[in-house]
Chain A
Amino acid sequence: MFAYIVKRLLAGIVVMLLVSLSIFLLFWYGPSEPARAICDTKTSQRCTPAKLEVFTEELGYNNAWYTEFPEYVGGIFTGRDITIASQTTRCDAPCLGLSYKNGKPVWDEMKGRLPATFSVAIGGAFLYLLLGVPLGVAAARRRGTVADKSLVSSFLVLSSVPYYLFALLTFLYFSVLFEAPFIGNPGYVPFTESPSGWVGGLALAWICLGIFGCTQYTRYSRGAMVEALSEDYVRTAKAKGLPQREVVYKHALRAALVPVVTIFGIDFGTLLAGTIFTEKIFDIDGIGLWALLAVGQKDLPIVQATALFAAVALILSNLLVDLLYSVLDPRVRLS
């Protein structure tokens, strides 16, 4: 088990290196001038070709990528000094570079934004699992009835609405039209500052993610449960004389959870990596929104950092799912 985790983490590091390298190379060999953004900022939009060349040289874009990339990676572990516009700034480990926009260490800003993204992701995921799985189980037990059919078809319709439209409508109704109290003014407030403000500010985002995710998780868990209920071992459980709820929850549900957990691992990683629409619409300063801005401003270090973060989130949540898998199903031997 330990060896397995180490192996997966090593593999994860390789993936992260590849992810950051590919983005690194994009800026190197891409069509744009990577130093343009910083040059514009520092010269108050009066960037001349000569000045641009100075910044390009300073940022190392005149060197080969294979000398710069190890330096970048090294900085993540040991920190490094970075000079921009003849100004040297100490960037402590984990150094993800300095923002080209404001010259501050990327990690400092990321640290500030992580709680918002985590809050959105965990709250949303919690809500959709809490709603979706029980609904799916209930529908599977009533398979073929009117209740089941209407639930399945209405959720199918709901989940075919594009997510951004769904989120926009939620915002429109709750914030703009009804000006709902407590939740009508979304935004991120740190939990430590005001727990009620945290809940109120994030509630709409959670509801949105929760309902939208729930439509999918109801379908996943209904499908998994229908299959589990038709398994021979569920019939065996029934033939033993077990009460119905034990047959359903102890025997069928545990098996049905396995495929649901698998999908959840991927979904949750994606959620952590940033929910751009959610953060944008509900005005939450998280990683997703940040990444969006950075791409627009060609702020290479931030793009780099958010991509790396997305990779970390996906790798860790997948690892977590695999570990969970081995807990759920004793036949799974991790090696």
Chain B
Amino acid sequence: MSDPFLVVEDLTVKFPTEDGLVNAVTDLSYTVEQGKTLGIVGESGSGKSVSSMAVLGLHDMRTARITGSIKVGGQEVVGLGESKLRKLRGKEVAMIFQDALAALHPFYKVGSQLAEAYLVHHPKASKREARRKAIEMLDRVGIPQPDRRVDDFPHQFSGGMRQRAMIAMGLINDPKLLIADEPTTALDVTVQAQILDLLQDLQREFNSAVIIITHDLGVIAEMADDILVMYGGRGVEKGPAKEVLTRPQMPYTWGLLSSVPDVHGDTASKLVPIPGNPPSLLDPPTGCAFHPRCAHVDKVPGNKCVTELPPLTAGPTGAGHLNRCHLADPVGVFENEVLPVIAPELLEES
């Protein structure tokens, strides 16, 4: 096992606002290895985007309060100066964003935006080389007639092509880590399939580490090797993708599974919502952040869920699968109580 390329340890990000301090990310730790994909799942406000923007130092340093450690290829990013951060951005770590129409500058040609990304890390390259590189990358991500489309403006591209161009821009400097923040959320499902296929092909080709951030469990199931579930700014479950999605150990993950209809599942399965709303980050709940919405609090003695924050520790199935829950037997509760409600067909099969 090689050393992980990205090591995040006890990352905490807070933003002061007029209403108080927003605890966007709290004590988050994870690692990503070269050639592997980490999927981060969570809803808006779970801290999934904030934490990955911290990897590139994209937060406003004057206001964001960032503590903990982020090591990219061994280099500490937290507290790193702007000029050193710049060498990292786009070169070692690239990021692709959700809405490519908004994330590409509307006034500049697609090609020149790509060339710009190349030139900033290849100061000796000529403009012609950069343009050639841009065309090559557009071709690589499957844009037809790249030598012609290179001079188009983003609004002249279709949604899928824009996201491809965004990916091309991200990969133009062969980054070792690619962070894809909801890369297909704004896209139609057949285009989403094309983009996910492309991302997977490119990852195999470049052997880069990938973080894919999404709220879509299906996307994460097909893309990720490991999954990190975030809730209220903390990691609440972490482990190999198959483990997390087939034997989840955290009631929030159960809630996600039971509240999202599955097009490939049994047509008769029920939809059980998670009651309530996501927690306030200004004034997070005491104890486990999920306790106000959790239907299993009664199974933990002594009101512990309300008073005590559970640690993120290895669950009953082994060291690779961590959960942040006070339940003594999460696997048993899931298999005996939750599964029969949300996917009875799975039980009948086995």
Contacts and interface: CB of A to CB of B under 8 A. Distances in A.
Interface of A: 144, 231-233, 235-244, 251, 254-255, 328-331
Nearest to A142: B62
A241 B121 contact: yes
Contacts, number: 64
A244 B99 CA distance: 23
Nearest to A238: B58
A255 B120 CA distance: 21
Contacts of B117: 240-241
Interface stretch (B29-37, B87-95, B290-298): B87-95
B328 interface: no
B103 A329 contact: no
Taking chain A's interface residues, is the majority helix, strand, or loop, or is none over half, making it mixed?
helix
**A-B pairs, 3 with minimum CB distance:** A241-B89, A241-B90, A232-B102
Interface stretch (B104-112, B126-134, B246-254): B104-112
Interface residues of B, number: 27
Contacts of B88: 241
B107 A240 contact: no
A236 B107 contact: no
Given A240-B116, A330-B153, A233 B103 contact: yes
B159 to A, nearest CB: 15
Given A241-B121, A242-B120, A251 B105 contact: yes
Contact of A238 (B89, B99, B116, B121): B89
Nearest to A251: B105
B335 interface: no
B165 to A, nearest CB: 11
Contacts of A239: 56, 58, 89-90, 94-95
A234 to B, nearest CB: 8
B155 interface: yes
Contacts of B121: 241
Given A235-B97, A235-B103, A240 B82 contact: no
Contacts of A238: 58, 89
A241 B105 CA distance: 15
A260 B242 CA distance: 54
A74 to B, nearest CB: 46
A233 B89 contact: no
A249 to B, nearest CB: 13
6 contacts: A144-B63, A231-B102, A233-B105, A240-B117, A242-B86, A329-B107
B169 interface: yes
B97 A254 contact: no
Nearest to A255: B107
Given A240-B89, A242-B120, A331-B155, A235 B58 contact: yes
B144 to A, nearest CB: 21
